[in-house]
Amino acid sequence: MRNRWLLGLVVAALCATSYIAGRIFHGAAPTAGNSQAPVAIADGTAAEQIGSRTIDDALSRREWSDDDKAAFRKAASEMSAEGRERLIRRLTVALNSGQMRVTVRRGPPF
């Protein structure tokens, strides 16, 4: 029960982080000394497909590994805030419902 509470807390923190990252990558106000707002690194749709594929692969193995975590984090850094939230929600449901076990050695699952 404690692990689910902790995972919920991590998800809430990641949602807040994804909102901030989304503001930075997609139209945040220009910073001092910079006349233009930052632009996205890559196409959010392609990054969402990679993130979704990472979750699908892990579900087929019934295991969320360090490699999955790394691939998901890389894709999440390049997708829209909405896409990130959608995939984090999907991953959280899969983890909390026992559809796969977490084998990440250090830190949070994503």
If pLDDT is split at 50, 70 and 90, which confidence band does 97 have? very high
If pLDDT is split at 50, 70 and 90, which confidence band does 45 have? confident
If pLDDT is split at 50, 70 and 90, which confidence band does 78 have? very high
Q: CB–CB of 30/65 below 8 Å?
A: no
Sign, CA torsion 65/47/79/45: negative
Average pLDDT, the chain: 76
Give pLDDT, residue 35.
Answer: 40
Give pLDDT, residue 24.
Answer: 41
User: Does position 98 have pLDDT exceeding 80, yes or no?
Assistant: yes
The residue-averaged pLDDT of 82-97 equals: 95
If pLDDT is split at 50, 70 and 90, which confidence band does 4 have? low
Give pLDDT, residue 26.
Answer: 44
Q: What is the dihedral of CA 58, 72, 83, 87, to 10 degrees?
A: 30
Residue ranges of domains in the chain: 2-27+44-102
